[in-house]
Amino acid sequence: MGRLFGTDGVRGVANADLTAELALGLSVAAAHVLAEAGTFEGHRPTAVVGRDPRASGEFLEAAVVAGLASAGVDVLRVGVLPTPAVAYLTGALGADIGVMLSASHNAMPDNGVKFFARGGHKLADELEDRIETVYEQHRTGEPWNRPTGAGVGRVTDYTEGFDRYVAHLIGVLPNRLDGLKVVLDEAHGAAARVSPEAFARAGAEVVTIGAEPDGLNINDGCGSTHLDLLRAAVVEHGADLGIAHDGDADRCLAVDAAGEEVDGDQILAVLALAMREAGQLRRNTVVGTVMSNLGFKIAMEREGIQLVQTAVGDRYVLESMKAEGFALGGEQSGHVIVLDHATTGDGTLTGLMLAARVAATGRSLAELAGVMQRLPQVLINVPDVDKSRVNTSSELATAVVEAERELGSTGRVLLRQSGTEPLVRVMVEAADIEQARAIAGRLADVVKSALG
């Protein structure tokens, strides 16, 4: 069996790859593994379970709740809430485990199961591996040791989760948003109620789009992966800015008053300066990934802020932040982690903090985001090649050196193998888009010939 857990839990097409049986089995296995690890020692265990609005989340939630309760875990069912809300509530309620059912920005037919440890933190890799092993042992016939009578878990709807999470968001804001007009695109997803409520309570005038989830329309032509509706709505309503979330609202992209995109790198740049000013940017450092735009790196250097770059993936950003004690990190895609207030990327919190900076400074989002100039970035995926040789081919190495010489200090080249597909990604940044395209095309041809 291939590894079930990816970089963000277990995902697949709901009812095909991710079945009710798998969700139930994984939940029982997780309960047993955490019990083995001593997490439940000395008390009756509790879990927080939430989901995004996908239709398949209804039966998968039922399976997860059944699995946990059958293993003797009391369940607090919080309903449709963002992933970061489930992480927050897991910590705030002192629960032993959190479970979120979502496939984030993926299309509606997909779904996923993501586990959180006590405190709302991602499960350690070794625990995920152990859950997989235990699940497989019992799937093939070894019976579970099941509690009976009063030992079975009890299931409760925790309706206060919504208000408690919104109150948390408002409570960590540095200032109110009075006088701002904000358009929110909720991707017909998990933040459809939370985000408008939080922005309104913070004082903003709120216009919402993509906030009518019906279980089938999540991420459909809207949200952080499709910004055109938000661009148009911001301009049409004369708003100060727009905020776009993905289906589970762990990421945030923005649009300025003219309808221009403000990406994750630019959001990080704005927040880094705001947090430094407030004395909250620990060790004067922000964490990004190797895909962070070169313009972001140049801007941080100019502002005297250190940039630490990790492998691509918010899990690697988070690992670096926790290991080194950094306060701010994120990705170009809009996963932004403010570790003092969240244990994972939180799109609503990010949007609120960005809007708060606009309100506090009286400057437009375009002006604030102008602290960095985003260099043109060209990305070409080269399929059907031997990606394992990307770092050992002398022909490719020579081509990269030549490209870097041509770009000088005004650009860069990055070649990396896909983590999930048989392809190599060629990324070139340059001050001139045509130069970037030409060099990327040339390198893609070399990748095909050298690794094909």
- The catalytic position among 27, 56, 102, 104 is 104
DSSP class of 142? P
Q: Output the known binding site for Mg(2+).
A: 104, 246, 248, 250
The sign of the CA dihedral 329, 334, 338, 339 is negative
Q: For the sheet containing 10-13, what is the strand order?
A: 10-13, 110-117, 97-101, 46-51, 74-80, 155-157
DSSP code of 9?
Answer: B
Asked if 276 and 328 count as a contact pair (C-beta separation under 8 A), the reply is no
Residue 177, number of CB atoms within 10 A of its CB: 24
Q: Are 414 and 396 in contact (CB under 8 A)?
A: no
SS3 call for 55: coil
DSSP secondary structure string, 66-131? HHHHHTT-EEEEEEE--HHHHHHHHHHTT-SEEEEE--TTS-TTEEEEEEEETTSPBPPHHHHHHH
What angle separates helix 20-36 from helix 56-70, to the nearest 10 degrees? 40
Contact 231, 259 (CB under 8 A): yes
Indicate the residue type of 114.
K
CA distance 184 to 200: 11
Question: What is the DSSP code string of 365-414?
Answer: HHHHHTTSPPPPEEEEEEESS-GGGTTT-HHHHHHHHHHHHHHGGG-EEE
CB atoms within 10 A of CB 143: 6
Q: In 210-242, which positions are buried (b, 16+ CB within 10 angstroms) versus exposed (e)?
A: bbebeeebbbeebbbbbbebbbebbeeeebbbb
Q: Which residues of 252-264 are buried (b: 16+ CB within 10 A; e: fewer)?
A: bbbbbbebebbbb
Handedness of CA 273, 299, 351, 230 (dihedral sign): positive
Catalytic status, residue 104: yes
| Helix (H) / strand (E) containing 243 | strand 241-245
Please state, in angstroms and rounded to a whole number, the distance separating the CA atoms of residues 21 and 169.
36
Q: Which residues are marked as active site?
A: 104
